[in-house]
Amino acid sequence: MLLIRAALVVGVGGLVVGCGADSGTTAEQPAAIASVHVTATPRPSPVISQATTTPAPITKATAKPTTATTSKEVVELRVIPFKKRTVTDDSLPKGEKTVRTKGVNGTRRLTYRVTFVNGVQTAKHLLRQEVAKEPRTQITAVGTKVDEPEEPSGCDPNYSGCVPIASDVDCSGGSGNGPEYVQGPIQVIGTDKYRLDADHDGIACED
């Protein structure tokens, strides 16, 4: 009995692989060849995943508020108070006061540089100052005069010379009884209170 081992021939991509006959075969006996055709199943192409790029959100820049800076010169007027001075006056009674020169206030002009930011004042600098009107000093006079009291002279002011002041005065050498006497003639310059001018001619004690 002739044993023949079949040779398997597989064609894969043109490559023939064979298995030889067993040692019991002869060269004259061709080996039975069984052909097996294998159909290659095409592999699916790999799926290339495309990354989806999400665009970054667009951020709008917030506009910064604008700053408006302005400046201007401002002029201010200020009062300069007048000064006071006191002088003495010996023609006025002591303690009496009178204003000789009335005081007047002056005026000072100040110029500033004022800065504003968005309408709000932020700075103020003095640029210059000047006297627009000079003040006038007030002068007050104070009296120093002292009236000395008149000492009584002892003479009656109604007569010239010195007719003593007494309860009664008579002409010397006359008939009167005094108690005081006066030597004439005497001029009556007021009231003849002692009745020394008998003939009323203005001359008393003329005899």
Q: Map out the domains of the chain with their CATH numbers.
A: 7-37 (no CATH), 69-145 (2.20.230.10), 154-207 (no CATH)
Whether this prediction's pTM lies above 0.75 is answered by no
Q: For residue range 75-108, list pLDDT tens digits in order.
A: 999 999 999 999 999 999 999 999 999 999 999 9
Has residue 59 got a pLDDT over 90?
A: no
pLDDT at residue number 138: 97
Q: Report the candidate in 180, 188, 193 with the shortest Cα–Cα distance to residue 206.
A: 188
Evaluate whether 160 touches 141 at the Cβ level (below 8 Å): no
Instruction: Quickly tell me which residue has 């700053």 as its tokens.
Output: 67
Could you tell me the two tokens for 110?
Answer: 């100040």
Decide which of 183 and 112 is more confident.
112
pLDDT at residue number 48: 52
Could you tell me the two tokens for 117?
Answer: 């930011």
Whole-Å CA distances, 106 to 93, 134, 158, 172: 33, 5, 60, 77
